[in-house]
Amino acid sequence: MRHCSPAETRATCDPDPDAMVCGQQTRRRVRLFGAVAVVLSAAIGFGIGLVYWFPKTAAVPSHEALIVAVERALAEIQPTLSPPYAALVREASAEARRVVASYPGDVRGLAALANVAYLAHSPPRETDCWRRSLDLAPAYLQAYSRLGALAMDRGDFLDAERWMRQGLSVDPANAEFAAILGSSLTSQRKPAEAVEVLERTVQATPTAPTPWFILGQAYLQLEDFAEARDSFLRATELLPTYTHAFHGLATACARLGEKEAARKYQERFAELKAEDAKRRGETTRSLEDDRLAPEHVANVMAMVGLVDWEQGDAANAERCWRRGSALNAANTACREGLANLYQAQGRVEDALRTVEELRGAEPSNAAHHMSAALVYARMNRFGEAEAALMTYCQMSPRSADGYAALAQLYCQAGQQLAEARSLAQAAVELEPSARNFQVLAAVLEKNGDQEGARAARQRAAGLAATKNP
């Protein structure tokens, strides 16, 4: 069931003789498809145009054909599944099929169906779902990420290259796409092209270990062993348990004649490899399925609930999000959806309970503190709203939202008006938007500065007119 993640892709240059390349290697857990999960991006200042010719691909099945095909795949594999796992997958399938049939224009329904195909151990059907999603939304980054990973999994490196070049034409700053592209190129023995891509990537995102590892593989193929050694070393510094980076490091050191270093790194590789083998030996596919099924089905519920909510079906949205939260307490996407739904429906007690759960689950997520502040403000609990907003401002000092919200809170309460003025001014300096100038106008008026308030309103009106001519 497990597909190769970008962190697991590797080229075939000087491989560990007992390890297999991506598409054949032992598969580890992959965190797939969070509804609001955003594909990892980093600022890479380059773009890659679609200047290569690639073979024409087969036609993409229709929505109806995809539903039938995924259901057939699930039926075929169901006898091999444990009853709890099969029941969860059938539940996810029913919800995904419902939204795909009801809202065929919403790409997230197809993403949910792709999850079901994944759970049904059917990479071909998952691939079809992601390809169909790109027909609806050509800039859907999640589809490119999965299509590239699936192609690497099956050893079709040319296809992986094709998807990643297309993805980078949409989002040139996507570090994950660049890493998969680099791996596909080294797997095709195109190390010079891989180095060109990956050097830019590691300069822009120097703390990501995977690009450094793949860059090391490319330099090994080019027989630039010093650069390979340095790249692998950086990967191990960033991820001390990066098993195959230690093998690459040992290989590079051996080629450089650094025998003692090569011996040390080979020993560390052997230790990590033994630990990996032990974990694999303790985990059957059935056990992995049963362990991970609630997490993946909760992701499906998160996506389906979002489709329902945006289509105006609040009842189904709430039902799906509550089910997802029950399946996986760590699924914050479902709770975020519920918090928004409760606030929109005026169910402030439910909203407060949910946002406090989110704050407890992810205390370092500033957005949850903002959500809590909005609920507390709506309940006229000034002190708690103020505390939540101050936490938000401390965690996100370059965000205008916290300063504007705190200024508005003080203004509405008629308290700390001088501080409110400073906060509102800071907000417009960080983000000179119409909304923030409106907040500044209200604060200035409350402070008795009528002339300043008029100027701020005029600025807000001008910005609004520019945005919506």
Q: Is residue 296 part of a domain?
A: no
300 lies in a domain? no
Domain boundary among 397, 425, 442: 397
List all residues 6 or more positions away from 460 whose beta carbon is below 8 Å from its beta carbon. 434, 435, 437, 438, 441
**Distance (Å, whole) CA 54 – CA 160:** 11
- Do 421 and 384 reside in the same domain of the chain? no
Q: Is the pLDDT of residue 38 over 60?
A: no
Cα atoms found within 13 Å of the Cα of residue 30, Cβ hemisphere only: 21
Give the pLDDT band of residue 285 (cuts 50, 70, 90).
low
CA distance 286 to 85: 9
pLDDT at 184 (0 to 100)? 97
**pLDDT exceeds 80 at position 23:** no
Look over the chain and give the mean of its residue pLDDT values, rounded to a whole number: 85
From 364, 397, 430, the end of a domain falls on 397
Residue 35 has pLDDT above 70, yes or no: no
136 located within any domain? yes
Domain boundary among 253, 286, 319: 286
Q: Which pLDDT value is given to residue 15?
A: 34
Neighbours of 432 (CB within 10 A): 14
CATH code, domain carrying 450? 1.25.40
- What counts of helices (H) and strands (E) characterise the chain? 22, 0
The total number of residues written for the chain in this structure: 469
CA 292/CA 85 separation, integer angstroms: 9
Residue 305 lies in a domain: no
258 in the same domain as 176 = yes
CA distances from 325 to 90, 137, 358, 460 (A): 18, 28, 11, 41
Q: What is the mean pLDDT of residues 396-418?
A: 94
Q: What's the whole-number mean pLDDT along residues 19-30?
A: 32
Write the CB contacts of 332 (distance below 8 Å, at least 6 apart in sequence): 358, 361, 362, 365
d(CA 419, CA 446): 12
Distance CA 316, CA 56 (A): 40
Give the confidence band of 31 by pLDDT, cuts at 50, 70, 90: very low
The pLDDT of 405-413, averaged and rounded, is 94
- Alpha-carbon gap, residue 391 to 402, rounded angstroms: 9
Residue 354 lies in a domain: yes
Could you tell me the pTM of the whole model?
0.74
Are residues 125 and 261 both part of a single domain?
yes
Cβ neighbors of 143 (< 8 A, separation 6 or more) are 111, 130, 131, 133, 134, 137
Say if 310 falls within a structural domain.
no
Tokens 């290989």 appear where? 251
Q: What residues contact residue 441 under an 8 Å CB cut-off, 6+ apart?
A: 453, 454, 456, 457, 460
**Among 50-54, 238-242, 302-306, where is mean pLDDT lowest?**
50-54
| pLDDT digit string, tens, across residues 151-173 | 999 999 999 999 999 999 999 88
pLDDT of residue 49: 32
Query: Cα–Cα distance between 155 and 82 in angstroms, integer?
Result: 29
List the one residue out of 69, 83, 101 whose CA is nearest residue 307: 101
Whether pLDDT at 134 is above 50? yes
Q: What are phi and psi of 447, to 5 degrees?
A: -85, 0
In a domain, 321, yes or no: no
Looking at the fold, whether 336 and 187 belong to one and the same domain comes out as no
Amino acid at 136: L
On whether both 83 and 189 belong to a single domain, the answer is yes
Name the nearest CA neighbour of 204 among 44, 46, 40, 48. 44
Domain co-membership, 346 together with 238: no
CA 228 from chain centre, in angstroms, equals 29
Same domain, 169 and 93: yes
Asked whether residue 243 falls in the same domain as residue 377, the answer is: no
Is residue 11 predicted with pLDDT exceeding 50? Answer: no
pLDDT of residue 393: 95
Alpha carbon distance 346, 210 (integer Å): 46
Sign of the torsion angle spanned by Cα atoms 455, 456, 460, 463: positive
Domain enclosing residue 177, as ranges: 6-286
Span 365-382, average pLDDT: 92
Q: What does the pLDDT read at residue 9?
A: 34
Same domain? For 239 and 377 the reply is no
- Does 102 have pLDDT greater than 80? yes
Is residue 343 domain-shared with residue 449, that is, in the same domain?
no
- Count Cβ neighbours within 10 Å for each residue of 173-198 and write b for 16 or more, e otherwise: bbbbbbbbbbbbbbbbebbebbbebb
Of the candidates 187, 173, 179, the one whose C-alpha atom is nearest the C-alpha of residue 48 is 173
Distance CA 392, CA 373 (A): 9
Same domain, 145 and 226: yes
Residue 79 confidence (pLDDT): 85
Letter for the amino acid at 233? Answer: L
Name residue 279's amino acid: R
Instruction: Supply angle C-alpha 59, 64, 67, rounded to 5.
Output: 100
Q: What mean pLDDT do residues 276-294 have? A: 69
Name the domain count of the chain: 3
- Give the model confidence (pLDDT) of 300-350 as tens digits: 999 999 999 999 999 999 999 999 999 998 889 999 999 999 999 999 999
Cα distance between residue 241 and residue 251, in whole Å = 17
Domain membership flag for residue 451: yes
Structure tokens at 33: 């498809």
Same domain, 167 and 252: yes
pLDDT of residue 279: 75
Angle CA(56)–CA(57)–CA(61) in degrees, nearest 5?
Answer: 145
Give the CATH number for residue 182: 1.25.40.10
